[in-house]
C-alpha cells in the first residue's frame, strides 16, 4: 500500500507537471540529472550498489559507486533512489509495435505486404509513433525496439526505434538495418479439401523452396554487381545484406532448418546473421558460435512445440544458449505480441527461475539485443558516454511483483509514464472514490 | 478335377439364374438343379468351437443340408474330395459401405442455417429414412477382393450423416442376382457423430452438437410416436420404425465409443459400436459400456525414422500406438469385451490378412478371431441360423483352405457363397515350390521356385551368377524364359516343361540359336531338411520377448504407469497462504489426510504421514482457472445462435498434455467453457486436473451447473464475411436473450402445469437458469452490453453469476456490485480487437476495490500455467494487496464457481488441493514443485525429471524397433507431427481456442 501511495503521488505529480502531456513526447534534456543511491544494473552482467548516475545532454556523464562522497554541480536535479533499481531501457527484439493498433481491425493493420520476396519493403514508414500500445510499454521499462515487417519469404527491412517520439523520423535510431527471411518450413500440411491428410508431414517442397531463395539471392547479387541501368527495387533492397550494412535475420526453429539457413547465408558471403526463433538452437550451439551467429530466442512465455517436450522447455532454452556462449536476446513475436511486449521484463525474469542469474537474464533484453541490432555504441548498457536511456524501478524490474517504474528517460529526456490506460484507471477510480 | 470345378461353376450359375420360380424364361426350358453336393474328407470347422476332423458337408440349392463325420448321401450327390484340406464358415464383415458411393459434397458460399428438405426432420443430417437398397449396386470387383480375404457376407450401409438409415445384408455371390444375394434389405440402423457431406446445414458444427442433436431427436421421436404432432415427419417415422433393428454407431475411437454409449444409455439403447483400435487405452471404461464392438484393424505402419531430425518430432503417443495397436483385440478379449472384426478403416483392404496375423501374433486367440469374423457378427445381426456357422439350414457360405486359416502359410483355395464357389487359387494345382537343378548345354543351373500356387516366381543361379528369369505356371505347365550366361549379349533361353510328378519338371528348352534340347529339372531333397532346420532354429532360438510399451494413464508422455494414490502428507515449516482470516502463516505445518486438509498449525506430527520439508517454501491453495479451453475435444457449437443444449462435459479430452502442463503451473481446477460463437453458448465442464483419470472422473462430484453466454463482436460475427445469422448487432443480441428466456419461461410453466409438453433440452437448460439452478458465465467486453444483460436477467428475476473477460467491468463496477455479479478478467490483455480498446490492466483492482468478487482467468493454455504471475500483476497495476491478489486465482474463482465450500483456501475440512512453491507464489521466480489434488500428488518436479528420462529411453527403444522393421523390408510411413487439433475436418469441429 505504501508503495502504491508513493506511486500514486508520483504519478499525480507527473500528471500535474505534464498535465495534458499524455502521448506528448518529452522535450530534449535541458537539466542535468543525478540518480543517487540506487542499485544500478549495468546491462553487461555487472551491478553497482549504491550508485550515482549523472547525465546531461542525453548522455551518461558518470556512473560509479557512490561510496566516495562526490560533489555535484548545482544544476543537477537530484533523484534520490535509495533502495531502488536502475536499468538500461529494455529493448524489444523482433517486435511489431506501431505497425498494428488493434489486431482484429484490418484498417489498423500494416504488418505485411503482398508477395513472397519483399526486400524493398520498409517497416519504418508505417511505424505509428502515436500508438496507444507503444506508450503502454514505457511504464514497464520497455523503451526501445525493433520494428519488423512480417509475411512472405523475404518479409522486408526493419529499423530500430525509441518509444517516445513525435513521428517515425523522430523515433528512429537505426534506419533499415535489418532484412528478414522466413526460412522454408520443414513440415507442411496436406490439403484436406482435396482429400489429403491435413496433418503435418515433412515438407516435400523444402529443397525447392530453399533453391528458389538461393536463386533470388544470386540474381540480386548479379544485379548489384552490375550497372543497375534498369532499376530493380527488390534487388536494391538486398544490397545492404551483401555489403554488410544490413543484418540478415532468418526465422528458423528446428535444428536442420537453422543449420541450412546459416550455411545458406555463409555461402552467400553474409556474415551478420541472426536466427529468429531458434527453438532447437540449443542442440547446435558450437556450430552457431563457430559461425558467429546470434539468436533472437522465441518468446519465453509459450507452450512447448511437441507433446513430449519438457513442460518448461521454452523457459529454459535461454540458459543453455547463454551457458554455451551464444549471443542471445529474447524476441517477442507470437500471440498478441504487440501489447504483450510490455511483459518483456517478465520473459527475462522467467529465464531466471529456469537457470540464469538475474544479471544474465537482463543482458538478454539490454546489452545483447543492442549488440545484435547494432545500437550498442549508444544503448543497451549504462556506461559513461552512452545514451541516458534508462529507468528507475521501485524493485526488481524482472519480477511483476516488484516492477514499479517511477522515472524513465530516453536520451536523457524524462518521458511520460502516463498512458491511455492510466488515464482511464484514474478517471474511474475517482468516479468510485477508490483511488486508495 | 479342374474341369469338374468349372463345370460345377457353370452349373451353379444356372441354378441361381433361375432361382425365382415365378419368373418366366424366354431363353430355354426351365431347368432347376436340385442335386446335392458333398464335400468329403475335409477338416470341417462347423463353428469356432466345433471341429470335425474328417467329415462331410452336404449342400443343396445354396444351403447346408447336413454336416458330420459320417452322414448318408442321397444318390443324386456330386462329391468333391477335400482330403487334407479344411473347411471354415466364411467371414462376415458387419461394417462396410459395399456397393455404395458416398454422396457428393454439397457446395456453396453462404452458411446455411435451415434444412434443405421438407417433410423430414428439421436437421438434414438426420436421415433414418435413408434406404440403403435405393442406391445399392452389386460390385463384382470388390466382391472378388473380399472373397480373397475370406468374406462371404457383408452388411452394408450409406456412410454419410449422423443418422444414416438402414443397412442391408448382402451375400457376395458373384453368380446370382440381388434377388438371391440380398439376405436382408433392412438389417440394421446406422449412426455416427459426423454430418452428411450432402448438406451444408451448419448445425451441428461440433461433436457436442452432434450428441445434443441425437438426444433431441430421440425426445422428438417419442413425442411423435405418442401422436402429439399433427404434421408429417418422415424421418421420425422411419426412426421409430427402425427402433428394433440393431443400432450400429460409428465412433472410430475409444473416447467416442464412450460418448456414443453415453447417449444410448440415456434412451435405453445399447448401440453396437464401431471402435477405433485404441480401446485398450481405457479398457475398464470401454468394458463398462457393455457394448459389443466392431473393431477395425488398421494398425499403423512403422514410421520412417531414418532421418533423426524428422524423427524427433514424432510423439511418444504416436510411436506407442504403432507398438500397442496390434494388441487391442487381445486386450479386449482378455477383458471379456465381445467384438466383431471389420475391414472398415483399412486404407487397403489387402492388408486385412497381415493385420489379422499381427493381432494373432500379439496374442489374440484363433478361436476368438474366428468368432469375431463369423458367429459374433451373425449374432449381432440376429442371423445366427443363416450365417456364421456350417450348421444345417445355414447358407452354404464356406472357405476351403489348405489348413489352419490363421496360419501365414495357409492358402485359401475357394470361397463358396450360397453354394457358388469362387476360386481364389486352383486347389488342384500342384505345389511345385522347391529347389531344382538341371543341366543345359553343359552348364549346371540351380532353380528355385516359390509361390507356385498364389504368385509363382523363380530365381536362377548358374555358377556364381544370378540370371534374370521369368516363370509362368498354369495347368501343370511351366514356362521359363531366362538370360544366357553370355553377358556380352542379350539372349534368352526358353523352356516349356510339364510338372506331372511333383518332383521334377520335364520338357524342352529352346536355345537362342533355335536349337531344341530336352529339359529335365530335378527337385533337390534338401527342401525338407531346410524346413526342418528352420523349425529347429525357431525352437532352439526363441525370439526375444517382444517389447511392448507400457500403457499409461493417459497413454502418452508423462502419463502414469500406475494411477497415483491419495496419501497422508505432512508439510513441515512452510509459509502457508491460508486465504482465510489467519492470513499468511510462517513456519507452519500442514497435514493432509484422506484427501482433505486435516490440520494447519505448529509442530504437527502424524506417524503415518509422509513428511515433506517445506522450509523456505510456500504453500497455497491450488489455482482455479475460471475460463479455460484445455482438455476439450470441441469448444464451439456455432451452428445456431443458441446452443444451450450442448455440454462440454460430453467432450472432455482426458489426454490433453495441457492438463499436465497446467498442473506444473499449480492449477488444480478449471472451468472448461464453451466458446463465444453465439449469444447462448453451451454448458460448462468444471473439472479437477486429475491427470490420468478418465474424462467422466475429472468432473466435480455434484458439480455446480454453468453455462456460457457471450456478447459483442464474436456473437455478432463482426469478422465473418457473411451477414446471415441473427444477431448482427448488440441490439439483436439483447433480443436473442429476450426471445429465449420468454420461451423458456412459457416452457417451464407448461412443464410445471403437468400438461404434456415436448421435451426440449435447450429449454430445459434455460429453465434451470430461470429457476436459479444453473449459473451464467458471460463473455463480455463493453459496458453497454454488460449493463444490458444484467437488465435482461433482472426482468426474468435471476442474476448473472459471472462476467468473464469483462474488460470494461471497471466502468460499471458499481452496477455489477448492485446486481451481485462477479468479474473474471484478464490481467493485462488488450488491443486485440476493437471492443478491448478501453481494456486496462487496472480493471481487476478497480472491480475488487468497488467490492465485486474478482478473479483472473487465462482463456489460454499458455497463460494458465502462470496464473499466479498474472495475479501478481494486480499488485503492480492498481496496488492490490498480495493476499488479495492470490485470491484472484484461488478463492475468488472458487466463489464464482460455487465451490468455495470445497476448494480455494487452506482450511481444515476442505479438499486438499494445494501447491508447494519454491518461492513467494506471486513471484516470477516461483516454481510449482508439487501439485496435489485431494491428497494425490499429480505433479512432482522430481518425478517429472524421472519421467523425462523414461520418455527418452522408451522413444529410443521404439525407434530401434522401427528401424528393424524397415530393414526387414516392411513398409513404413513418413513421420507425422502430432498436433493438438486432431479432429477431422468432416466433423466441422474447428476446435480452435475461442479467441478471447
Tell me how far CA of residue A206 lies from CA of A184, A315, A326, B449, in angstroms. 6, 29, 27, 45
Confidence at residue B534, expressed as pLDDT on a 0 to 100 scale = 47
Span B644-680, pLDDT tens digits? 999 999 999 999 999 999 999 999 999 999 999 999 9
Tell me the CATH architecture of domain A23-89+400-417.
Answer: Roll (2.30)
DSSP B409: T
Q: Once rounded to an integer, what is the mean pLDDT over residues B93-118?
A: 94
The ipTM, to two decimals, is 0.94
- Whether cis (ω within 30° of 0) applies to the bond prior to A109 is no
- Considering only alpha carbons, which residue of chain A is nearest residue B945? A310
Taking the CA of residue A298 and the nearest CA in chain B, the distance in Å comes to 14
Angle at A418 between CA A413 and CA A424, to 5 degrees: 170
Q: Once rounded to an integer, what is the mean pLDDT over residues B504-514?
A: 88
Hey, are the CB atoms on B924 and A424 less than 8 Å from each other?
no
B307 contacts on A by Cβ (under 8 Å): 202
Domain membership of residue B911 (yes or no) is no
Hey, are the CB atoms on B658 and A303 less than 8 Å from each other?
yes
Taking the CA of residue B706 and the nearest CA in chain A, the distance in Å comes to 28
Confidence at residue B20, expressed as pLDDT on a 0 to 100 scale = 63
Torsion of CA A233, A236, A238, A243, to 10 degrees: -170
B262 pLDDT tier (thresholds 50, 70, 90): very high
Confidence at residue B151, expressed as pLDDT on a 0 to 100 scale = 98
Hey, are the CB atoms on A425 and B840 less than 8 Å from each other?
yes
Which of A104, A194, A307 to probe by mutation at the B interface, max B CB count within 10 Å?
A307
CA B697 to chain centre: 20
Assigned C-alpha cell, B898: 460455487
Span B11-37, pLDDT tens digits? 454 444 445 667 777 777 777 788 999
Q: How far apart are CA A126 and CA A136, in angstroms?
A: 19
Q: How far apart are CA B193 and CA B170, in angstroms?
A: 25
Span B706-738, pLDDT tens digits? 999 999 999 999 888 888 899 999 999 999 999
Which of B927, B944, B985 shows the shortest C-beta gap to A353?
B927
Q: Around Cβ B475, how many Cβ atoms within 10 Å? A: 9
Within this chain, do residues B711 and B814 fall inside the same structural domain, yes or no? yes
A351 contacts on B by Cβ (under 8 Å): none
- Name the average pLDDT for chain B: 92
Within this chain, do residues B498 and B373 fall inside the same structural domain, yes or no? no
B618 contacts on A by Cβ (under 8 Å): none
B811 contacts on A by Cβ (under 8 Å): 428
Identify each DSSP E strand in B434-503 by its residue range: 434-440, 443-450, 457-462, 465-467, 469-474, 477-483, 492-498
Confidence at residue B6, expressed as pLDDT on a 0 to 100 scale = 52
Taking the CA of residue A206 and the nearest CA in chain B, the distance in Å comes to 13
Which of B829, B837, B879 shows the shortest C-beta gap to A102?
B837
Which of B556, B834, B846 shows the shortest C-beta gap to A429?
B846
Domain membership of residue B465 (yes or no) is yes
Hey, are the CB atoms on B840 and A310 less than 8 Å from each other?
no
Query: Last residue of a domain, which of B492, B516, B537?
Result: B537
B862 contacts on A by Cβ (under 8 Å): 301-303, 335
Hey, are the CB atoms on A432 and B814 less than 8 Å from each other?
yes
Which of A103, A104, A131 to probe by mutation at the B interface, max B CB count within 10 Å?
A104
- Quick one: CA dihedral B675, B679, B682, B686, positive or negative? positive
Within this chain, do residues B381 and B454 fall inside the same structural domain, yes or no? no
Span B848-859, pLDDT tens digits? 999 999 999 999
Angle at A131 between CA A125 and CA A132, to 5 degrees: 175
Span B419-450, pLDDT tens digits? 999 999 888 877 788 899 898 888 899 999 98
Which of B879, B941, B974, B983 to probe by mutation at the A interface, max A CB count within 10 Å?
B879
Confidence at residue A232, expressed as pLDDT on a 0 to 100 scale = 96
Residue B109's SS3 state is: coil
Domain membership of residue B107 (yes or no) is yes
Taking the CA of residue B662 and the nearest CA in chain A, the distance in Å comes to 9
A22 contacts on B by Cβ (under 8 Å): none
- Considering only alpha carbons, which residue of chain A is nearest residue B944? A310
DSSP B517-536: EEEEEEE-THHHHHHHHHHH
Confidence at residue A9, expressed as pLDDT on a 0 to 100 scale = 53
Within this chain, do residues B348 and B481 fall inside the same structural domain, yes or no? no
Hey, are the CB atoms on B975 and A202 less than 8 Å from each other?
yes
Percent helix, strand and coil across chain B, each rounded to 5?
A: 30, 25, 45
Helix (H) or strand (E) holding B537: helix B526-540
Hey, are the CB atoms on A200 and B664 less than 8 Å from each other?
no
Q: How far apart are CA B318 and CA B302, in angstroms?
A: 10
% residues pLDDT > 70 (chain B): 94
Which of A307, A421, A432 shows the shortest C-beta gap to B657?
A307
Q: How far apart are CA B621 and CA B913, in angstroms?
A: 6
B69 pLDDT tier (thresholds 50, 70, 90): very high
Span B553-608, pLDDT tens digits? 999 999 999 999 999 999 999 999 999 999 999 999 999 999 999 999 999 999 99
B920 contacts on A by Cβ (under 8 Å): 401
A404 contacts on B by Cβ (under 8 Å): 876
Which of A1, A201, A303 shows the shortest C-beta gap to B861?
A303
- Choose the weakest-confidence range: A236-240, A335-339, B115-119, B497-501: B497-501
- Considering only alpha carbons, which residue of chain A is nearest residue B924? A399
Hey, are the CB atoms on A346 and B923 less than 8 Å from each other?
no
pTM above 0.90, yes or no: yes
Taking the CA of residue A402 and the nearest CA in chain B, the distance in Å comes to 7
Q: Under 8 Å CB-to-CB from A145, ≥6 apart: which residues?
A: A91, A92, A93, A95, A97, A137, A160, A161, A163, A341
Residue B648's SS3 state is: helix
Hey, are the CB atoms on A308 and B925 less than 8 Å from each other?
no
Is the pLDDT reported for residue B359 higher than 90? yes
Span A262-286, pLDDT tens digits? 999 999 999 999 999 999 999 999 9
Residue B234's SS3 state is: helix
Which of B841, B863, B985 shows the shortest C-beta gap to A198?
B985
Within this chain, do residues B662 and B764 fall inside the same structural domain, yes or no? yes
Q: Under 8 Å CB-to-CB from B306, ≥6 apart: which residues?
A: B963, B966
Taking the CA of residue B640 and the nearest CA in chain A, the distance in Å comes to 23
Confidence at residue B16, expressed as pLDDT on a 0 to 100 scale = 46
Within this chain, do residues B355 and B452 fall inside the same structural domain, yes or no? no
Domain membership of residue B611 (yes or no) is no
Domain membership of residue B181 (yes or no) is yes
Q: Around Cβ B848, how many Cβ atoms within 10 Å? A: 25
Within this chain, do residues B231 and B118 fall inside the same structural domain, yes or no? yes
Q: How far apart are CA A141 and CA A151, in angstroms?
A: 29
Within this chain, do residues B377 and B441 fall inside the same structural domain, yes or no? no
Query: Last residue of a domain, which of B903, B937, B956?
Result: B903
Helix (H) or strand (E) holding B509: strand B504-510
Within this chain, do residues B376 and B497 fall inside the same structural domain, yes or no? no
Span A124-183, pLDDT tens digits? 999 999 999 999 999 999 999 999 999 999 999 999 999 999 999 999 999 999 999 999
Hey, are the CB atoms on B832 and A201 less than 8 Å from each other?
no
Determine the structural domain holding residue B486 and report its residue range: 435-537
Confidence at residue A5, expressed as pLDDT on a 0 to 100 scale = 57
Which of B301, B628, B924, B938 to probe by mutation at the A interface, max A CB count within 10 Å?
B924
Confidence at residue B503, expressed as pLDDT on a 0 to 100 scale = 82
Is the pLDDT reported for residue A71 higher than 90? no
**What region does A255 belong to: left with phi over 0, alpha with psi -120 to 50, or beta?**
alpha
B872 contacts on A by Cβ (under 8 Å): 399-401
Which of B713, B924, B977 shows the shortest C-beta gap to A400?
B924
Per-residue burial over B800-821, b if 16 or more Cβ lie within 10 Å, else e, is bbbbbbbbbbbbbbebbbebeb
Assigned C-alpha cell, B699: 468432473
Which of B810, B861, B976 shows the shortest C-beta gap to A201?
B976
Span B277-290, pLDDT tens digits? 999 999 999 999 99
DSSP A325-382: T--EEEB--STTHHHHGGGHHHHHHHHHHTT--HHHHHHTTTHHHHHHHT-TTTSSS-
Tell me the CATH architecture of domain A90-377.
Answer: Alpha-Beta Barrel (3.20)
Strand-pair partners of B188: B167
Hey, are the CB atoms on A428 and B810 less than 8 Å from each other?
yes
Helix (H) or strand (E) holding B147: helix B140-149
Query: Last residue of a domain, which of B365, B386, B407?
Result: B386
Tell me how far CA of residue B570 lies from CA of B593, B602, B738, B909, B930, in angstroms. 9, 11, 54, 15, 13
Hey, are the CB atoms on B664 and A312 less than 8 Å from each other?
yes
- Whether cis (ω within 30° of 0) applies to the bond prior to B360 is no
Residue A435: burial class (beta carbons within 10 Å; 0-12, 13-18, 19+): middle
Hey, are the CB atoms on A432 and B849 less than 8 Å from each other?
yes
Residue B588: burial class (beta carbons within 10 Å; 0-12, 13-18, 19+): buried
Domain membership of residue B693 (yes or no) is yes
Is-contact B459 B483, C-beta < 8 A?
A: no
Confidence at residue B4, expressed as pLDDT on a 0 to 100 scale = 56
Percent helix, strand and coil across chain A, each rounded to 5?
A: 35, 25, 40
Is-contact B207 B634, C-beta < 8 A?
A: yes
Span B448-459, pLDDT tens digits? 998 877 678 899
Where exactly are the structural domains of chain A?
23-89+400-417, 90-377
Q: Once rounded to an integer, what is the mean pLDDT over residues A23-37?
A: 93
Is the pLDDT reported for residue A119 higher than 50? yes
Q: Once rounded to an integer, what is the mean pLDDT over residues A63-71?
A: 77
Tell me how far CA of residue B647 lies from CA of B213, B643, B654, B859, in angstroms. 12, 9, 16, 18
A398 contacts on B by Cβ (under 8 Å): 924
CATH of residue B864's domain is 3.20.20.140
Q: Bigger pLDDT: B229 or B109?
A: B229
Span A190-228, pLDDT tens digits? 777 666 777 788 899 999 999 999 999 999 999 999 999
A310 contacts on B by Cβ (under 8 Å): 944, 948
Confidence at residue B975, expressed as pLDDT on a 0 to 100 scale = 87
Q: How far apart are CA B362 and CA A369, in angstroms?
A: 57
Number of domains in chain B: 3
Q: Once rounded to an integer, what is the mean pLDDT over residues B391-411?
A: 95
B661 contacts on A by Cβ (under 8 Å): 303-304, 311
Is the pLDDT reported for residue B532 higher than 90? no
Strand-pair partners of B27: none
A403 contacts on B by Cβ (under 8 Å): 876
A335 contacts on B by Cβ (under 8 Å): 860, 862
Which of A1, A310, A339 shows the shortest C-beta gap to B831?
A339
Confidence at residue B988, expressed as pLDDT on a 0 to 100 scale = 41
A425 contacts on B by Cβ (under 8 Å): 810, 840, 842, 846, 877-878
Amino acid at each position: 500500500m505504501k508503495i502504491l501511495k508513493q506511486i500514486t503521488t508520483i504519478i499525480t505529480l507527473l500528471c500535474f507537471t505534464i498535465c495534458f502531456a499524455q502521448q506528448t513526447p518529452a522535450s530534449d534534456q535541458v537539466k542535468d540529472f543525478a540518480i543517487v543511491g540506487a542499485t544500478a544494473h549495468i546491462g553487461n552482467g555487472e551491478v553497482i550498489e549504491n550508485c550515482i548516475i549523472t547525465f546531461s545532454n542525453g548522455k551518461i556523464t558518470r556512473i560509479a559507486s557512490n561510496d566516495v562522497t562526490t560533489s555535484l554541480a548545482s544544476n543537477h536535479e537530484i533523484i534520490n533512489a535509495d533502495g531502488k533499481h536502475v536499468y538500461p531501457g529494455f529493448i524489444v527484439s523482433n517486435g511489431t509495435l506501431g505497425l498494428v493498433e488493434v489486431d482484429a481491425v484490418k484498417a489498423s493493420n500494416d504488418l505485411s505486404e503482398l508477395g513472397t520476396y519483399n526486400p524493398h519493403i520498409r517497416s519504418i514508414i508505417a511505424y505509428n509513433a502515436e500508438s496507444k500500445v507503444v506508450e503502454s510499454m514505457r511504464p514497464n521499462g520497455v523503451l526501445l525496439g525493433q520494428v519488423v515487417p512480417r509475411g512472405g519469404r523475404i518479409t522486408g527491412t526493419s529499423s530500430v526505434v525509441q518509444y517516445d517520439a513525435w513521428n517515425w523520423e523522430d523515433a528512429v535510431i537505426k534506419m533499415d538495418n535489418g532484412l528478414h527471411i522466413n526460412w522454408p518450413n520443414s513440415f507442411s500440411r496436406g490439403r484436406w479439401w482435396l482429400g489429403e491428410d491435413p496433418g503435418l508431414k515433412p515438407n516435400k517442397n523444402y529443397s525447392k523452396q530453399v533453391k528458389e531463395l538461393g536463386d533470388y539471392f544470386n540474381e540480386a547479387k548479379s544485379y548489384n554487381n552490375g550497372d543497375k541501368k534498369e532499376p530493380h527495387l527488390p534487388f536494391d533492397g538486398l544490397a545492404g545484406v551483401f555489403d554488410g550494412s544490413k543484418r540478415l535475420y532468418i526465422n528458423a526453429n528446428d535444428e536442420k532448418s537453422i543449420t541450412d539457413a546459416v550455411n545458406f547465408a555463409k555461402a552467400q558471403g553474409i556474415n551478420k546473421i541472426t536466427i529468429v526463433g531458434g527453438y532447437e538452437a540449443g542442440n547446435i550451439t558450437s556450430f552457431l558460435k563457430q559461425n558467429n551467429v546470434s539468436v533472437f530466442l522465441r518468446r519465453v512465455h509459450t507452450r512447448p512445440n511437441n507433446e513430449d517436450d519438457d513442460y518448461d522447455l521454452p523457459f529454459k532454452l535461454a540458459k543453455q544458449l547463454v551457458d554455451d556462449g551464444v549471443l542471445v536476446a529474447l524476441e517477442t513475436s507470437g500471440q498478441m505480441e504487440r501489447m504483450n511486449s510490455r511483459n518483456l521484463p517478465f520473459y527475462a525474469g522467467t529465464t531466471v527461475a529456469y537457470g540464469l542469474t538475474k544479471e544474465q537474464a537482463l543482458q538478454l533484453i539490454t546489452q545483447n539485443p543492442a549488440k545484435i541490432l547494432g545500437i550498442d555504441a549508444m544503448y543497451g548498457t549504462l556506461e559513461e558516454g552512452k545514451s541516458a536511456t534508462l529507468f528507475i524501478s521501485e524493485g526488481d524490474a524482472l519480477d511483476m511483483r516488484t516492477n514499479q517504474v517511477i522515472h524513465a528517460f530516453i536520451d536523457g529526456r524524462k518521458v511520460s509514464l502516463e498512458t491511455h490506460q492510466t488515464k482511464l484507471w484514474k478517471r474511474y477510480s475517482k468516479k468510485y472514490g477508490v483511488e486508495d | 478335377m479342374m474341369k469338374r470345378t468349372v463345370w460345377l461353376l457353370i452349373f451353379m450359375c444356372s441354378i441361381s439364374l433361375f432361382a425365382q420360380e415365378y419368373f418366366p424364361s424366354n431363353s430355354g426350358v426351365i431347368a432347376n438343379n436340385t442335386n446335392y453336393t458333398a464335400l468329403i474328407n475335409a477338416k470341417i470347422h462347423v463353428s469356432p468351437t466345433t471341429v470335425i476332423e474328417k467329415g462331410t458337408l452336404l449342400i443343396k440349392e445354396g444351403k447346408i443340408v447336413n454336416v458330420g463325420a459320417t452322414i448318408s448321401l442321397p444318390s443324386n450327390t456330386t462329391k468333391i474330395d477335400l482330403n487334407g484340406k479344411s473347411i471354415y464358415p466364411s467371414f462376415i464383415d458387419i461394417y462396410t459401405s459395399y456397393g455404395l458411393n458416398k454422396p457428393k459434397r454439397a457446395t456453396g458460399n453462404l452458411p446455411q442455417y435451415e434444412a434443405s428438405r421438407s417433410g423430414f426432420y428439421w436437421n438434414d443430417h438426420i436421415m433414418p429414412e435413408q434406404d440403403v437398397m435405393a442406391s445399392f449396386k452389386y460390385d463384382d470387383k470388390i466382391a472378388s477382393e473380399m472373397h480373397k480375404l475370406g468374406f462371404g457376407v457383408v452388411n452394408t450401409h450409406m456412410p454419410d450423416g449422423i443418422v444414416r438409415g438402414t443397412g442391408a445384408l448382402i451375400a457376395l455371390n458373384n453368380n446370382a442376382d440381388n434377388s438371391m444375394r440380398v439376405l436382408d434389405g433392412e438389417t440394421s440402423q446406422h449412426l455416427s457423430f459426423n454430418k452428411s457431406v450432402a448438406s451444408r446445414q451448419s448445425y451441428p458444427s461440433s461433436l457436442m452438437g452432434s450428441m445434443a442433436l441425437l438426444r433431441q431427436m430421440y425426445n422428438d421421436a417419442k413425442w411423435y410416436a405418442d401422436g402429439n404432432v399433427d404434421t408429417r415427419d418422415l424421418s421420425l417415422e422411419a426412426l421409430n420404425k427402425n427402433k428394433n433393428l440393431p443400432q450400429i454407431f460409428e465412433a472410430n475411437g475409444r473416447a467416442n465409443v464412450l460418448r456414443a454409449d453415453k447417449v444410448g444409455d440415456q434412451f435405453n439403447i445399447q448401440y453396437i459400436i464401431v471402435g477405433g483400435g485404441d480401446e485398450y487405452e481405457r479398457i475398464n471404461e470401454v468394458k463398462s459400456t457393455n457394448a459389443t464392438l466392431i473393431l477395425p484393424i488398421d494398425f499403423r505402419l512403422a514410421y520412417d525414422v531414418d532421418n533423426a531430425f524428422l524423427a524427433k518430432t514424432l510423439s511418444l503417443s504416436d510411436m506407442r500406438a504403432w507398438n500397442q495397436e496390434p494388441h487391442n483385440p487381445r486386450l479386449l478379449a482378455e477383458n471379456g469385451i465381445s467384438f466383431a472384426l471389420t475391414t472398415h478403416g483399412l486404407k487397403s483392404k489387402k492388408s486385412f490378412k497381415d493385420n489379422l496375423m499381427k493381432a494373432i501374433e500379439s496374442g489374440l486367440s484363433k478361436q476368438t478371431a474366428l468368432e469375431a469374423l463369423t458367429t459374433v457378427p451373425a449374432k449381432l445381426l440376429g442371423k445366427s441360423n443363416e450365417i456364421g456357422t456350417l450348421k444345417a439350414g445355414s447358407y452354404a457360405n464356406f472357405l476351403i483352405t489348405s489348413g489352419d486359416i490363421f496360419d501365414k502359410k495357409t492358402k485359401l483355395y475357394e470361397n463358396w457363397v450360397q453354394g457358388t464357389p469362387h476360386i481364389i487359387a486352383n486347389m488342384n494345382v500342384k505345389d511345385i515350390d522347391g529347389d531344382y537343378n538341371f543341366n543345359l548345354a553343359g552348364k549346371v543351373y540351380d532353380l528355385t521356385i516359390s509361390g507356385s500356387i498364389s504368385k509363382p516366381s523363380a530365381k536362377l543361379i548358374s555358377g556364381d551368377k544370378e540370371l534374370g528369369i521369368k516363370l509362368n505356371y498354369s495347368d501343370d505347365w511351366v514356362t521359363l524364359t531366362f538370360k544366357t550366361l553370355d553377358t556380352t549379349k542379350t539372349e534368352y533361353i526358353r523352356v516349356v516343361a510339364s510338372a506331372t510328378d511333383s518332383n521334377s519338371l520335364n520338357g524342352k528348352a529352346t536355345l537362342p540359336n533355335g536349337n531344341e534340347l530336352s529339359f529335365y529339372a530335378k527337385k533337390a531333397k534338401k527342401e525338407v531338411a531346410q524346413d526342418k532346420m528352420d523349425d529347429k532354429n525357431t525352437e532352439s532360438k526363441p525370439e526375444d520377448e517382444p517389447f511392448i510399451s507400457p500403457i499409461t494413464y493417459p497413454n502418452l508422455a508423462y502419463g502414469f504407469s500406475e494411477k497415483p494414490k491419495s496419501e497422508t502428507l505432512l508439510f513441515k515449516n512452510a509459509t502457508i497462504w491460508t486465504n482465510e482470516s489467519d492470513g499468511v502463516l510462517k513456519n507452519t505445518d500442514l497435514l493432509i489426510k484422506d484427501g482433505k486438509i486435516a490440520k494447519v498449525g505448529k509442530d504437527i506430527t502424524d506417524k503415518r504421514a509422509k513428511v515433506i520439508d517445506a522450509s523456505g517454501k510456500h504453500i497455497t491453495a491450488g489455482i482455479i482457472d475460471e475460463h479455460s479451453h484445455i482438455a476439450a475435444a470441441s469448444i464451439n457449437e456455432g451452428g445456431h445462435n443458441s446452443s444451450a443444449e450442448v455440454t462440454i462435459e460430453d467432450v472432455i479430452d482426458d489426454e490433453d498434455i495441457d492438463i499436465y502442463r497446467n498442473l506444473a503451473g499449480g492449477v488444480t481446477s478449471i472451468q472448461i467453457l464453451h466458446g463465444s460463437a453465439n449469444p447462448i453458448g453451451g454448458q460448462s465442464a468444471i473439472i479437477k486436473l486429475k491427470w490420468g483419470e478418465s474424462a467422466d472422473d475429472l468432473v466435480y462430484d455434484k458439480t455446480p451447473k454453468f453455462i456460457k453466454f457471450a456478447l459483442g463482436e464474436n456473437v455478432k460475427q463482426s469478422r465473418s464475411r457473411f451477414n446471415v445469422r441473427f444477431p448482427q448487432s448488440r441490439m439483436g443480441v439483447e433480443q436473442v436473450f429476450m426471445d429465449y428466456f420468454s420461451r423458456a419461461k412459457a416452457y417451464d410453466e407448461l412443464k410445471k402445469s403437468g400438461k404434456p409438453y415436448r421435451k426440449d433440452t435447450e429449454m430445459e437448460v434455460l429453465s434451470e437458469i430461470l429457476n436459479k439452478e444453473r449459473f451464467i458465465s458471460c463473455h463480455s467486453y463493453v459496458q453497454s452490453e454488460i449493463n444490458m444483460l444484467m437488465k435482461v436477467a433482472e426482468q426474468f428475476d435471476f442474476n448473472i453469476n459471472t462476467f468473464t473477460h469483462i474488460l470494461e467491468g471497471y466502468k460499471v463496477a458499481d452496477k455489477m456490485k448492485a446486481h451481485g455479479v462477479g468479474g473474471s478478467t484478464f490481467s493485462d490483455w488488450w488491443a486485440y480487437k476493437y471492443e478491448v480498446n478501453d481494456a486496462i490492466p487496472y480493471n481487476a483492482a478497480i472491480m475488487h476495490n468497488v467490492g465485486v468478487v474478482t478473479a483472473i482467468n487465462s482463456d489460454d493454455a499458455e497463460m494458465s500455467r502462470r496464473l499466479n504471475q498474472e495475479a501478481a500483476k494486480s499488485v503492480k497495476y492498481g496496488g492490490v494487496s498480495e493476499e488479495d491478489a492470490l485470491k484472484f486465482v484461488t478463492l475468488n474463482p472458487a466463489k464464482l464457481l460455487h465451490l468455495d465450500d470445497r476448494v480455494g483456501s487452506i482450511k481444515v475440512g476442505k479438499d486438499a488441493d494445494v501447491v508447494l512453491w519454491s518461492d513467494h507464489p506471486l513471484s516470477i521466480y516461483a516454481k510449482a514443485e508439487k501439485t496435489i489434488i485431494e491428497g494425490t500428488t499429480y505433479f512432482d518436479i522430481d518425478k517429472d525429471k524421472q519421467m523425462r528420462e523414461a520418455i527418452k529411453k522408451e522413444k529410443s527403444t521404439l525407434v530401434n524397433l522401427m528401424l528393424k522393421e524397415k530393414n526387414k523390408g516392411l513398409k513404413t510411413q513418413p513421420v507425422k507431427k502430432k498436433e493438438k487439433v486432431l479432429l477431422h475436418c468432416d466433423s466441422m469441429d474447428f476446435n480452435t481456442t475461442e479467441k478471447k
